Structure 1
Amino acid sequence: MITQPSLYSRVAVSLLALALSGFVNLAGRAQDIAGGASVFLASAEVEAKLGKGIFTPAPNRAHAPKHFEKKTVARSVRAAHPQRPTTTTTTAGNTQTTNNGGDSGSRPLESTRPLGGPARRVMVAEDYNKQGDAFFDAGQYDKAVESYQQALRLQANYPEAYVNLGETYFNLGRYDEAITVEKQAIQLKPDLVAAYRALGHAYLKLDRSAEAIDALKRALNLVANDSEARTALSLAYYDQGVAAYNAGKYDDAVAAYQQAVSLKPDYADAQNNLGDAYRRLNKFAEAAEAYKQAVRLKPDSVDAYSDLSQTYDKLGKYPEAAEAYKQVIRLKPDDAEANNNMGYALGKTKRWPEAIVAFQRAIQLKPDYAEAYSNLGWAYNNIGNFNAALEPLKKSIQLKPDLPEGHFNIGVTSFHLLKKEEALAAFQKTIELKPDWPAAQNNLGVAYGNLGKWKQAIAAHKEAVKLKPDYGGAYYNLGVDYLRIGDKKAAAEQYQKLRTLNPNNANVLYTLIYNKPAPANKP
């Protein structure tokens, strides 16, 4: 989910091949991936003309607990109040109703008749329970409490009345009292599903997810297809996942969110959070699957599509990332970051004209978007339009002087425009801002070499291979540097290191050192 522009921008970095000029009798040069004759200029991740973009992962934003959304519940045990059969007799003009059975030991109805008056019915526990039901259904919860309490005074072993009283307490926000009476119901009737369900609801309201899970699991053990209990249990696991995630316990969060979605497969928010937890564990393939479920269930979720697109970025699935960003933009067309990020993904798939349009749109939406200006320059560099690249790149560092990628790309552009001093200054600034960037150290060495400053070039290329020991392009350049100062032995040492890293470039360097082709048995 993109929430802060600086955290979600992709700043694309040109890794266009730079040629060391001024070589005498050193015409052979390494081939870049694009096939041009030049020296490798490779990033810490890839050696390619396409370039390197900074991928800033999404921040570890906190997950929010859902809590139990129900403010009120419907009564669970209406069916627990059966009508008792009665008989009516008429004697000497007087009508008398008699109870022929009881409910849970309810006291039988009595008939009293004041002298000279009609018979008067006496209410028993069941009647008060039914009266409570009527008050409950009318939303008169205080009166319902009085009726249920009266039922329990008349009949203490009445579990259904305890359940109803607990649910009334729930609707009044008296969750601790609800827990107490639901436990009493369970004590009286251990197989009463409604009591376990109501107990779980009350625990959820108090954020006591572990106890809620226990109660709701017991309900499902009794009635496996109780949809209300399943939904509540899914929520309980969701909140457990939230707590684990926010505590940095991502494995526990995954386990809890998996339980939530197994109980409620259409739980889009749980799927999205599951993706977040996987992503924190660097399990990007699993994260992508979870996010795909989230967008399937909730196709209008900007957050889910944003998370999915960033995960595709991490997997290097740039066509899929571009399509996901298109969905973000469909839902939120004025999202500058999404337009910029889509441009980055399009660039990584070499769809440069589309990338340029996306970067321009990002700048239109956010005129002070330094990263988008840098990316626009990166795109122009990759289509060979270096004059067009220079203006947005200068704008990027004007807006954000400490943006290393902007300075790096200016160095690339300046090199191709044969502005050697400007290229050197740009790479020096890049290193000042980001000294641990292998590609920038390599380019700095190239810039020094272009000005004939070979000792400085050697120092920069040594730093590049120190930062990235498998950096074939930098080893090649270092070998060339040593040749330029007449140190053939040191150049040969670079050849030996390069043999396993890049046999083709090793052959070229061998020819430069010995003025003859590499032997057939040499790589």
Structure 2
Amino acid sequence: QEKNANEKEKEKKNIGGDAREIEDQVYKVALQSYREKAYADCLAKLKDYAGEITNPNFYYLMAITLQHLGDRAAAIVDYERVLKLDDLHFNTNLNLGRIYYNDKNYEAATELLETAYSRRENDLDLLYDLTKAHFYNKNYTTVIPYLEAYLKRNSDGGEAWRMLGESYSKTGKSRSASKAFEKADRYSTGNDELYKHLEGSIAKYGREASEYSKDGKYKEAISVLEKGIMEHSKAASLHFNLGLNYIEVGNVKKASEEFRKTIDLEPAHAKAYQGLGLIHYEREEYREAGAYYLATIEAGKQDEFVYYKLGSCFFKLKNFNKAVDAYQQSIRLNPNQKRYHFGLGASYIALNEHYDAIAAMEIALKLDPMYLDAQYNIAVAYLKMSQYDKSITEAEKILAKNSEYAKAYLVIGHAHKRMGNYILADSFQKKAERIDPSLKQ
């Protein structure tokens, strides 16, 4: 009986040996076809083998052949079979890790690439693949030492510096993040994978917030933008749009903070300066508003409205010559806006350049014949030049269009008073006061 048992064991080993030899022969023949790029033939030979597969390279050859033939799903199945036989198989961990990375299955990718990297720590490309997998899996603490190691060996990698900056930022290391972002700006070509990923993500938050803003849902837009900033704290566009939405809900303090953050991140962001100009103008802080409108122009925004607001700041500050220059710039950019000509005319009146004032007001009136304030200022200009008949004529033109325009009666009254017609003057003064009690002397 003992002899029979030994013979059976020997026979079993021989059978196993024969099977492994056959498996090995099939593998070698298939490998030759693979090397000759006869992928379909290679796959057919491998699939014809019906025995037990014990060599992990058998499955590996099948997996890479399937990839060449475009069957990724089947290739993944065979890569997984390799790992069941040899979980440290370098090429399988590397290839499957990259497949999962491309599929955005970053958690699975990191595990596989970690295994591959443990076998080949001098492989710089592999190290970079591993860092990206950790980064996109949001393993910011884990990825920092990998990125630092990579950048010691490749210090001009713009994308790597950008990832390091983001990782430092996410882990509260703002000073280190700032230095890393400076390196990213220096070395980045602006077309690396992370740059495109970040730009796409930032744009997504911007679009979503914009849809809410269009519908007047400013609080919802603010929530979206704040979420985006948590992920992209250095995105100037998100801070700027957040500032705009804070203005819409009346939170001027927050809006101002966001515009300033925008400028810190992007010093040439003209619209952020303009936003701060608007805030200070509404507060009647004309000196500060003017400074921000000037900064808007210096940042490259040659905008008619910015020049107009700058002119208005100078006018309020009684710097009328500079107001004239600013209004003229706004008119140069758009000669068809009546208020630009009105502002110019008002500045000329303040400078006692009355004929220039009348010319500007007449253009405003031509653009809008019912622009009664412009016609009123023409009447005032004639009054100041002691051309009383012309002043009265202009005031009467106003009353023909609107008999309730109180200041027209007031101008006529002043004209008669200066001509010595005191009874008429008093009559027109009283008419003005009846319509507008604030005009009482």
What's the TM-score once normalised by structure 2's chain length?
0.56
Write the distance in 1 (CA, Å) between the matches of 2:104 and 2:250.
Answer: 47
Q: Which of the pair is proportionally richer in helix? A: 2
Partner amino acid, structure 2, of 1:123? Q
Change (3 A) 1:421 1:205: same
Task: Within 5 Å, give how 1:101-500 maps onto structure 2.
Answer: 113-115=43-45, 121-123=65-67, 151=103, 156-158=108-110, 185-187=137-139, 192=163, 193=166, 194=194, 199-207=201-209, 208-217=224-233, 230=234, 233-298=235-300, 300-436=302-438, 440-442=439-441
Write the distance in 2 (CA, Å) between the matches of 1:200 and 1:190.
Answer: 22
Write the distance in 1 (CA, Å) between the matches of 2:270 and 2:371.
Answer: 33
Partner amino acid, structure 1, of 2:108? A
Partner amino acid, structure 1, of 2:416? S
Change (3 A) 1:270 1:94: same
Q: Contact 2:311–2:327 at 8 Å: present in 1 too? A: yes
- Cα RMSD, aligned residues only: 4.0
Change (3 A) 1:402 1:267: farther
Change (3 A) 1:182 1:303: farther
Write the distance in 1 (CA, Å) between the matches of 2:404 and 2:134.
Answer: 62
Q: Contact 2:399–2:405 at 8 Å: present in 1 too? A: yes
**Higher mean C-alpha deviation, range 426-435 or range 274-283:** 426-435
Aligned to 2:108, the other structure's residue is in SS state: coil
Residues 356-412 of structure 1, C-alpha deviations (whole Å, 9 max, x = no match): 211222223322221111100100111111111111111123223333322222221
Residues 294-346 of structure 1, C-alpha deviations (whole Å, 9 max, x = no match): 23334541111111112222222221111111111111212222212211111
Gaps of 5+ in 2: 1-26, 36-40, 49-60, 74-98, 114-132, 145-162, 167-193, 210-223
Change (3 A) 1:275 1:441: same
Partner amino acid, structure 1, of 2:397? K
Change (3 A) 1:152 1:376: closer
Number of equivalences: 288
Write the distance in 1 (CA, Å) between the matches of 2:440 and 2:336.
Answer: 37
Q: Contact 1:183–1:199 at 8 Å: present in 2 too? A: no
Change (3 A) 1:93 1:369: closer
Tell me which of 13, 16, 32 is aligned to 1:94. Answer: 32
Partner amino acid, structure 2, of 1:367? P
Partner amino acid, structure 2, of 1:375? N
Larger radius of gyration: 2
Write the distance in 2 (CA, Å) between the matches of 1:182 and 1:408.
Answer: 77
Aligned to 2:137, the other structure's residue is in SS state: helix
User: Cα offset for 1:92?
Assistant: 10
Q: Contact 1:254–1:278 at 8 Å: present in 2 too? A: no
Change (3 A) 1:299 1:346: farther
Aligned to 2:268, the other structure's residue is in SS state: coil
Change (3 A) 1:150 1:235: closer
Partner amino acid, structure 2, of 1:331? L
User: Cα offset for 1:91?
Assistant: 7.5
Aligned to 2:250, the other structure's residue is in SS state: coil
Q: Which residue of 2 aligns with 1:59?
A: none
Partner amino acid, structure 2, of 1:94? Q
Change (3 A) 1:435 1:128: farther
What's the TM-score once normalised by structure 1's chain length?
0.48
Write the distance in 2 (CA, Å) between the matches of 1:409 and 1:279.
Answer: 31
Change (3 A) 1:113 1:281: same
Gaps of 5+ in 1: 1-88, 98-110, 130-146, 162-180, 218-229, 443-523
Residues 230-288 of structure 1, C-alpha deviations (whole Å, 9 max, x = no match): 4xx21111112112212222222222111112222222222212110111222211110
Write the distance in 1 (CA, Å) between the matches of 2:282 and 2:314.
Answer: 14
Q: Which residue of 2 aligns with 1:21?
A: none
Q: Contact 1:275–1:290 at 8 Å: present in 2 too? A: yes
Aligned to 2:369, the other structure's residue is in SS state: coil
Quick one: percent identity of the two aligned structures? 17
Residues 14-71 of structure 1, C-alpha deviations (whole Å, 9 max, x = no match): xxxxxxxxxxxxxxxxxxxxxxxxxxxxxxxxxxxxxxxxxxxxxxxxxxxxxxxxxx
Larger relative contact order (CA 8 Å, sep ≥ 6): 1
Partner amino acid, structure 2, of 1:243? N
Change (3 A) 1:294 1:93: closer
Write the distance in 1 (CA, Å) between the matches of 2:411 and 2:259.
Answer: 43
